């Protein structure tokens, strides 16, 4: 799932060349994986947070710096190749790299450095989040055969053996509910932080006032919000039905897998469409079951992933 999500996001951001260039592909994969695991380690041991300590040339920092250099040099090469017409968009229209190359800010074209930063952000933010969503979704579906059957029925009756199209995708209502319920139960981004830009007093439901001073870091626990019995009866049960015919306005305040407000997920629609395409094609083609004897431990790092991965046996469906 990780390699697939990386292929998709790099394909959409940088065009087809990268997907077929195994060397660049492997380098990107390796550098992102190294940087993420070292960053997470530094965050949870506080090494990456404490002033002074975070700048020390410790092994983890050197590894991150090297991964960053590798990643950035690969991206720079991709940008140069596009500038020289050596690659092109895989989309019907322009891809993100084309848009960034033609974009202007205050009448000025973006610099190469800015383009590298913007495209790298997209790849990093859009890679592990989506692969985590897909991994948990396959896991939870493998444990709920009845729900999987309902999903297969929807997908088979709407796609009729064809790959999904814009038209058929919009009809996959139950598929979308399955993905949303998976996002609720196993939110890939389980928490976010914000800094209070001004003094604020929040009044809790019991009338208790909480004063938040300007400059305070506020930790928002999306995982808990998505598991509160008050809003989600039988909160620990996987039940996609709760996302069918429900009050969208109500959900927009209690269902926040992509956060909310002006800095919410810019890739939200992309991610849902991507996951819908992946899930419908997988379910259409394969039967899958969990390899026995595994233990599943959600681990909250930057994303909430299964600690030791999830092993799934897949075989072609006999239709």
Q: Mutual orientation of helices 268-285 and 2-14 as an angle, nearest 10°?
A: 130
Q: In terms of CB distance, is 125 or 312 closer to ligand HEM?
A: 125
- Which residues in the 1-20 window bind ligand HEM by CB under 6 A? 9
Q: Does 99 bind ligand HEM (CB under 6 A)?
A: no
Question: How far apart, in whole angstroms, are the C-alpha atoms of residue 279 and residue 176?
Answer: 10
Q: Which stretch binds ligand HEM (CB under 6 A): 128-136, 161-169, 210-218, 286-294?
A: 128-136
Instruction: Answer yes or no: are the C-beta atoms of 312 and 46 closer than 8 Å.
Output: no
Question: How far apart, in whole angstroms, are the C-alpha atoms of residue 223 and residue 132?
Answer: 15
Of 111, 121, 170, 216, which one interacts with ligand HEM (CB under 6 A)?
A: 121
| Helix or strand (DSSP H, E) at 304 | strand 304-306
Cβ 79 to ligand HEM shortest distance, Å: 17
Of 17, 190, 240, 257, which one interacts with ligand HEM (CB under 6 A)?
A: 257
Q: In terms of CB distance, is 95 or 239 closer to ligand HEM?
A: 95
Instruction: Answer yes or no: are the C-beta atoms of 60 and 47 closer than 8 Å.
Output: yes
Q: Is 12 annotated as a binding residue?
A: no
Q: Does 286 bind ligand HEM (CB under 6 A)?
A: no
Q: Which stretch binds ligand HEM (CB under 6 A): 26-34, 57-65, 125-133, 289-297?
A: 125-133
Q: Mutual orientation of helices 112-142 and 173-185 as an angle, nearest 10°?
A: 100
Instruction: Answer yes or no: are the C-beta atoms of 139 and 314 closer than 8 Å.
Output: no
Q: Interface residues with ligand HEM (CB under 6 A)?
A: 9, 121-122, 125-126, 129-130, 133, 188-189, 192, 257-259, 263-267, 270-271
């Amino acid at each position: 799932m990780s390699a697939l999500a990386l292929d998709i996001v790099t394909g959409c951001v940088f065009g087809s060349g990268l997907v077929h260039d195994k060397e660049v592909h492997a380098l990107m994969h390796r550098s992102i994986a190294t940087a993420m695991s070292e960053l997470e380690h530094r965050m949870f041991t506080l090494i990456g947070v404490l002033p002074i300590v975070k700048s020390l040339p410790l092994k983890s920092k050197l590894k991150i710096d090297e991964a960053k250099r590798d990643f950035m040099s690969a991206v720079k090469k991709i940008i140069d190749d596009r500038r020289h017409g050596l690659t092109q968009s895989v989309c019907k229209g322009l891809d993100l790299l084309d848009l960034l190359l033609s974009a202007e800010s205050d009448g000025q074209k973006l610099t190469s450095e800015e383009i590298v930063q913007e495209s790298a952000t997209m790849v990093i933010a859009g890679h592990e989040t989506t692969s985590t969503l897909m991994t948990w979704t396959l896991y939870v579906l493998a444990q709920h055969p009845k729900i999987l059957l309902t999903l297969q029925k929807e997908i088979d009756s709407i796609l009729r053996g064809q790959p999904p199209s814009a038209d058929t995708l919009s009809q996959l209502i139950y598929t979308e509910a399955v993905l949303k319920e998976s996002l609720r139960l196993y939110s890939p981004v389980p928490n976010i932080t914000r800094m209070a830009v001004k003094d604020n007093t929040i009044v809790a439901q019991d009338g208790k006032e909480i004063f938040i001073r300007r400059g305070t870091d506020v930790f928002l626990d999306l995982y808990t919000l998505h598991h509160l019995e008050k809003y989600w009866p039988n909160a620990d049960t996987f039940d996609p039905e709760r996302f069918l015919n429900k009050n969208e306005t109500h959900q927009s305040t209690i269902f926040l897998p992509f956060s909310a407000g002006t800095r919410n997920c810019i890739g939200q629609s992309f991610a849902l469409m991507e996951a819908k395409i992946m899930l419908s094609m997988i379910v259409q083609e394969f039967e899958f079951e969990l390899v026995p004897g595994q233990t599943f431990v959600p681990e909250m790092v930057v994303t909430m992933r299964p600690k030791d991965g999830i092993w799934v046996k897949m075989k072609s469906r006999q239709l």
